[in-house]
């Protein structure tokens, strides 16, 4: 039962991580097209929050849950 819960949370984290990976380049394009300083600063904040607040934690969760499932499955 634990393995299924781990797998479900692992898949949710993978989807979150990949959504952020695909959205970050789009933010970079918007940032490059921005013409005023207020918009540039806003995109810097958005990029930082996406990278540090969503991408990095979801990547860590994916790796941790994947390693945990590997140890459960190999035993």
pLDDT digits (tens, 9 = 90+) for 60-70: 999 999 999 99
Task: Confirm if 13 and 65 have CB atoms less than 8 A apart.
Answer: yes
CA separation for the pair 15, 10 (Å, rounded): 9
- Burial classification of residue 27, based on how many CB atoms lie within 10 Å of its CB (0-12 exposed, 13-18 middle, 19 or more buried): middle
pLDDT digits (tens, 9 = 90+) for 35-51: 999 999 999 999 999 99
Check: pTM over 0.95? Answer yes or no: no
Q: Could you tell me what percentage of the chain is helix, strand and coil, using 3-state DSSP and rounding each to the nearest 5?
A: 95, 0, 5
């Amino acid at each position: 039962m634990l393995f299924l819960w781990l797998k479900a949370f692992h898949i949710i984290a993978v989807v979150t991580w990949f959504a952020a990976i695909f959205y970050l380049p789009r933010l970079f394009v918007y940032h490059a097209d921005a013409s005023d300083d207020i918009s540039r600063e806003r995109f810097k904040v958005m990029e930082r929050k996406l990278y540090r607040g969503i991408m990095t934690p979801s990547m860590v969760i994916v790796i941790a849950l994947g390693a945990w499932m590997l140890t459960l499955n190999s035993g």
